[in-house]
Every structure is written in structure tokens, then in C-alpha cells.
Homo-oligomer: A and B are copies of this chain.
Amino acid sequence: MASTERTFLKSDNTATVCPELFAALRAANVRCGDAYDSDAWSARLDDVFSSFFATRCRVFTTATGTAANALSLAVLCPSFGAVLCHALSHIENDECGAPEFFSGGAKLITCEGANGKLTVPALEAVLASKRPGIHQMPPRALSITQATECGTTYTPDEVRALTDFAHRQGLRVHMDGARLPNAIVHLGCEPADITWRAGVDVLSFGVVKNGGLSAEAAIVFDATLAQEMAYRRKRAGQLLSKSRFQAAQLLAYIESGVWERNARRANEAAQIAGRALAAYLAYPVEANMIFARLGTLEARLREHGFEFHVLPSGEARLVFSWDTPPAQVQRLVRCVEARLK
């Protein structure tokens, strides 16, 4: 008989706020004289993140990852330009045209690539198919997703190869890092290694999927873009008056180390489940997501209360969060193993 216990694996978007970030919200709930990034919390953001990334950078909080992505692309690509991205990317498939809206009509040009990853040959092929001249929108930006929409990661060398190619072609580089912490943890690298040091100009840095409540950030490594970002963010209704609560989440996220702890927990859950599901996997498990062709196992898992999405391509997507209970991961493992016997 099937369990009535429910295990939520649809998305890390629904996880709880971790205690450290919730405590930070509470601590920021004091009377304060200033709004709109003029508060004491927001004032510390640039320093804290500059230390985190080991380079001078500017931090712009936003309410959503969609906004962080779209603002980043808008400062990197003119309205008449094109953005190269993977066919599976979030900016292409899941943001209802936010990049087009924020940029004033830029075009996304998609590339295929195994495991959700772009490659230089794939980019070259796309650029080769473009005619020179003014009849087509000129590519001006590249967007890389790290970790990818397939739960895989780019190594620092892989990122560098893409950004070197992009910069040689006159493209600026955005990284959609909605799950960057998961990638860092998997790769065992420094935050700098897969971002600015590997050639990224502007980064969307994930918080909400990894323990936050309502704060994401666009991190600007190229100081010349900061002023434009500031105006565009305000104009997009993405600068909160009570900015201290956004800043407080981000500060706690970095300073207490929960960015890493939470990502590690989520990744580990995926690893455990991934080992059990090894025979079904569509992609290597490198972050906190599993994509698997489950066949008849799908119905069985649903009977046992596991909730997850199945993509139009037929792959089931199981996403693990910082707060996915280990017992439920074990339950998943047992459920799979029982079937396999």
C-alpha cells in the first residue's frame, strides 16, 4: 500500500527559508531612517561580496531571479542586439520574455548542446549562420547557466573557453547563477574561479532557491556597468524601499556560510538519490537536480507521495533542496531499490 507522506521534489523554489536568513530578517526589523539602499545593511553589501568574490564588485538586489537575469542582459546587450544561450536555458523557456522586455526587444538565439551545456563549436556554428551586415541583429551577449538546467556544471576551463570565444567576438558575458552555489560546491572551486576570473561580466547570484525568502542579486564585475544597472533596476520596480531586508538576507547568506552549507545539503541529497537512480539518469548528477527517464517507476514514485515534474521530453525532474529531509531521500532510495529487486 502506498504511503500518504508527501515529498516535494518539484522545485527548490518552494523550500523553506533557512533559520539563519530568517533570523537576519528579524534582526533587521528595527526602526531605521533610510530606504532604497541607503540603509546600513545595504551599505555593506558591496564590501561583503567583493570579499566573497575576491575582487571589487557591485551588488544589486532584486526580487526575483528573472529580474536579475533580465537586468543583467539589458546592461550587456543593446535593444537591437542578440543574446546567445542554450536552448534549454531559463531565459529562453521560463521567464515569459523578460529578457526581451527589459532589453527593449533584444533577441535570444539558442544553441543546442549535450547535458544542457554550450560549447564553442556550437557557438561558432550559430555565428557562422549569421549574415554580416545590418539585416540581422548582431550578437552582443552570451548567457551561460551555472549549474545548468540539466543539473550539470561547467568547469572553470569550460567557462573560460566560452568567455574567451565570446569576448573575441565582441560579446559580453552573463552567467545565470540561480544555482551557482550548487556548482561551486560540486566543483570545489572558489567563487571567483567560475565567475569573473573565468570571464563573466555580470552574474545572477542565487539565493531564493538555496534558503532565501525574497532576495536575489545581480553582481556587476565591470564597474562601468553599475550606473546603468542602478537606473534600470529602479525603473523596473526592483529596488525595494525596505531594502534592508533584502540586504540582510544576502549578508547572512554569505557571512554565515549558509550559501555553502545549504548547497552542499541539496547536492548530497541529489547524489544519494542519483546513485539509486543511476540506471535511469538522463544527465550526470552534479548539482541538486536529477533528470531521469523513469518508465513505470514514475507511477510507483507518485503512489508513494513523491511529487515532481515531467518535462515535455518525457524526463522526470527531481529537485532537492537544502531542507529536503534526509529521511525522505532515504525513502526515495528504498522505494527505487524495492522496485529494482
Size bin of chain A's contact surface: 35 or more
- A98: interface (CB < 8 Å): yes
Q: A46 near B: Cβ within 8 Å?
A: no
| Chain multiplicity (copies) | 4
B97 engages A228 (CB within 8 Å): no
Chain A stretch 88-111: residues in CB contact (< 8 A) with chain B? 93-98, 100-107
| Main secondary structure on A side of the interface with B | loop
Q: A237-B236, A238-B63 are in contact. Are A96 and B135 (CB under 8 A)?
A: yes
A79/B104 in contact, CB under 8 A: yes
Could you tell me if B235 and A98 are in contact, using CB atoms closer than 8 angstroms? Answer: yes
CB atoms of B95 and A241 under 8 A apart: no
- Whether A11 contacts B241 by the Cβ 8 Å rule is yes
* Shortest Cβ distance from residue A110 to the other chain B in the assembled complex, whole angstroms: 11
- Which residue in B11, B137, B230, B240 is a CB contact (below 8 Å) of A97? B137
Q: Which one of A12-20, A181-189, A333-341 is at the interface?
A: A12-20
CB-defined contacts of A232 to chain B, threshold 8 Å: 80
Given A80-B231, A96-B135, A237-B67, the answer on whether A31 and B8 have CB atoms closer than 8 Å is yes
Cβ < 8 Å to B, chain A residues 3-47: 6, 8, 10-11, 13-17, 22, 25-26, 29-36, 39
Query: Would you call A131 an interface residue if the criterion is a C-beta within 8 Å of the partner chain's C-beta atoms?
Result: yes
Contact B15 A31 (CB under 8 A): yes
Task: List chain B residues, Cβ under 8 A from A104.
Answer: 79, 101, 104-105
| Residues on the B chain within 8 Å of A241, using CB | 11, 13-14, 64-65, 208-209
**What are the 7 tightest A-B residue pairs by CB atom distance, in nearest-first order?**
A67-B237, A63-B63, A13-B241, A104-B104, A100-B105, A66-B237, A8-B33
Q: Which A residues fall within an 8 A CB radius of B?
A: 6, 8, 10-11, 13-17, 22, 25-26, 29-36, 39, 62-68, 70-71, 78-80, 82, 93-98, 100-107, 128-129, 131, 134-138, 208-209, 213-214, 228, 230-242, 245-246, 307, 312, 323
